[in-house]
Structure 1
């Protein structure tokens, strides 16, 4: 078997924030529904699922989306980080990853309006404004419910829930957290004029709409430290495929200014297609790099060659791989050896642990 020697950046150990990583490859956060639907307790089988990716040499494992409260839930079977039982259930997972020399962080998540009252503890979903999303709840096959506009008291409560979930993540053995601020979920609902028509300090132009995101970031950074906190953001909205920033470069500048204001050091710009040109002949990550000199995680159907080139050029610092890591627990070993990768197939891999 011929070893692939042209992809050295992918396999390079690196210091990122508080973490010494085995490689520059990250495991992208992917909803797997590996928890008890009633309790949000992680299925014990998830231990081996995450262990194998650490064993493969994945540098940074980002967990599946993990909700911060009962009302934050928007999919059946997703795990939580708001009860002691949930915290305890994650400990064998984080211990297994650490035994293999890996690093794992929890993606903390509130879906906002992308839910249904039968999932969110019998209460109506929460959002920036009372604007119903189009579409259906994944794996639930019911339309998104009409959300309630959050009061300022509820906003402060949810900000505190993010901070508590971050503290619980550290208690569970996670090495840090990623705040899910992308793809049309709650943080993104405040960020977007599609879902935020507020007239108070949480509404207005884009810079003003980022107020909620900044409050969440400050609270989480205060809870676990800036060197253990990542923020994920996007132009892509999971419930609105036609949405696009009117001026992508101006929007990115505004986001970067907000990140600098709160002292963030690590960001995860998210897109479905890493090579898609967004504006001025540049991709999302190239535009972000134009204004941001901190850590950038790249994601978006990356293949090894594209990831290697982006790492070598300095566009990104870590390359996040999604579905190929579901289909190939030994992804890095295969890439290094030049062994063909198994193709991801939804029916085959969606609900199987490998």
Structure 2
């Protein structure tokens, strides 16, 4: 039994395990589709596609087959880009430019794997009675599309609402922090170009691309799509006053949700998409948070201030369209890396507070209409303030910071959300719902409740954790990597600069990407891998053609990787000293 299995001990409450029963209870979406339980595997960037993007491949199928057997209520894919020239980090899944039977087939296979219709593709029968809802997340990176890796020629700027550069430091920094800010500015300036403001024609093309993505999802057998309007991507850029300085009909002042509403309406009026198709929207709670910039302020005065009224107005307006089944509350972007840190308690508190107020707002009574069209077929005209008989507001999906079973149970019981999004925990424990089902079944049979323990062991992004005894190669690799990383940080400490926060967030993301590849190959999570080792392993990887990823895993876990780590450290130190 692995350490994770031994620590994944389920607490069955004194009321007969009702806490687990709550998590495993089904719930109905506004369009009458049933979510089998409240646990949702939310979007995670897999970094498994071909270089410069492509369709799903064997790596994705292996990974999502593991999540299917975990018996999740809903499984949302990683972000699938709707255009080829606005990727994030180069290995994104992409909606095909030409839609036909051949280009749709990889997405059809991915949907079948998520549903558990594995008999269509292999001899192993479907496991268990749970058929999770399969949701394809659609995204456009906008100004966060990286240089070169974003799918454009080097230093060709991406498109965005306005020409607002990414990651430039604020004024008022002290001299000591100024060097760190300069380094951060240099990294952002090289990796992310100053974007070009989108023309009306380019906005039209982006909207059409999202609708085409939904059409591909419907044709492939997905139950629905989620529009990624969070984490600083294009739709979030149009919503945020920080990134949208336009003075036309798509300005924040005119209507910040205009592009999102146009896409939602386009999907709902598309003849190729059935009425039962699920449509979700991912919103960014951190976009509604401001932080003072003055260098003379005290730490108390620098506490982030949330504009919750504006955020709740957006939730109400989206709900009033009567076209959306769920709204996911998340947060963080490339400039606000602390909100991407799962270990920040303030992050989870912000999201939970916002999602609870959103649930209260949506259940308070009839939703006001905002002069926009509602769900096709609705008897309401634009501006009608009465609620459509039988219509129901979207469900709230809360994501971020769920690292233990008590947090999951508490969020549901305190009505912070209808659905609970599990991201990185789904990597460390891909079969979490299945284990809860098993624990509840054993408790009903009279077995004694197990002790309560945290579900997650946070990775050591410095040098990793010592491997268990008995693995000579892993032990040698760990010692070498620890020596190299220790030398790197010792040399870096001699410099009067700090590592940019984006680097730390990137190491965390890389570690979980590497672990996803291990999960796909049927292996356990390896806590002996540190942050730098994970970054190297993340990039030194080739997408499989027809073989599984296990064949290449051993190569990149070898001494070759350790040597390359040394080369990387040498190059970095050589440029800085």
TM-score range, shorter chain: 0.7 to 0.9
| Structure 2 residue corresponding to 1:286, chosen from 339, 343, 356 | 356
| Structure 1 residue corresponding to 2:247, chosen from 192, 196, 199 | 199
Deviation, structure 1 residue 25: 0.4
Deviation, structure 1 residue 228: 0.9
Is 1:228 aligned with 2:261?
no
Q: Closer, same or farther in 2 for the Cα pair 1:264/1:97, shift >3 Å?
A: closer
For 2:286, what is the secondary structure of its paired residue?
Answer: coil
For 2:76, what is the secondary structure of its paired residue?
Answer: strand
Deviation, structure 1 residue 124: 2.5
Is 1:350 aligned with 2:420?
no
Q: Which residue of 2 aligns with 1:167?
A: 215
Deviation, structure 1 residue 255: 3.8
Map residues 182-261 of structure 1 onto 2, 5 A cutoff: 182-205=230-253, 208-223=255-270, 224=273, 225=275, 227-237=277-287, 242=291, 247-261=307-321
Q: Distance in 2 between matches of 1:220 and 1:236?
A: 27
Is 1:134 aligned with 2:134?
no
Q: Distance in 1 between matches of 2:106 and 2:354?
A: 37
For 2:93, what is the secondary structure of its paired residue?
Answer: coil
Partners of 2:356 and 2:415 within 8 A in 1: no
Regions of 4+ moved over 6 Å:
none
Q: Which has the higher strand share?
A: 1
TM-score under structure 1 length normalisation? 0.87
Q: Which residue of 2 aligns with 1:12?
A: 25
Uncovered stretches (5+) of structure 1, i.e. residues with no partner: none
For 1:291, what is the secondary structure of its paired residue?
Answer: helix
Q: Which residue of 1 aligns with 2:132?
A: 102
Q: Distance in 2 between matches of 1:39 and 1:257?
A: 34
For 1:70, what is the secondary structure of its paired residue?
Answer: coil
Map residues 29-44 of structure 1 onto 2, 5 A cutoff: 29-44=43-58
Q: Which residue of 2 aligns with 1:304?
A: 405
| Structure 2 residue corresponding to 1:120, chosen from 132, 151, 173 | 151
Q: Distance in 1 between matches of 2:252 and 2:315?
A: 15
Q: Distance in 2 between matches of 1:348 and 1:132?
A: 28
Which structure would you say has the larger Rg?
2
Deviation, structure 1 residue 218: 1.4
Deviation, structure 1 residue 166: 0.5
Q: Distance in 2 between matches of 1:287 and 1:226?
A: 28
Q: Distance in 2 between matches of 1:344 and 1:215?
A: 41
Q: Closer, same or farther in 2 for the Cα pair 1:91/1:344, shift >3 Å?
A: farther
Q: Which has the higher helix share?
A: 2
Deviation, structure 1 residue 340: 6.1
Q: Can you list the C-alpha shifts for 1:67-118, whole angstroms capped at 9, x where unaligned?
A: 0011231222010123456532222221122224222110000010001352
Q: Which residue of 1 aligns with 2:83?
A: 69
Deviation, structure 1 residue 197: 0.6
Q: Closer, same or farther in 2 for the Cα pair 1:209/1:349, shift >3 Å?
A: closer
The RMSD of aligned alpha carbons is 3.0
Q: Can you list the C-alpha shifts for 1:179-238, whole angstroms capped at 9, x where unaligned?
A: 000111101111111111111011142x61221121122112333347510001113259
Q: Which residue of 1 aligns with 2:573?
A: none
For 2:269, what is the secondary structure of its paired residue?
Answer: helix
TM-score under structure 2 length normalisation? 0.55
Deviation, structure 1 residue 348: 5.0
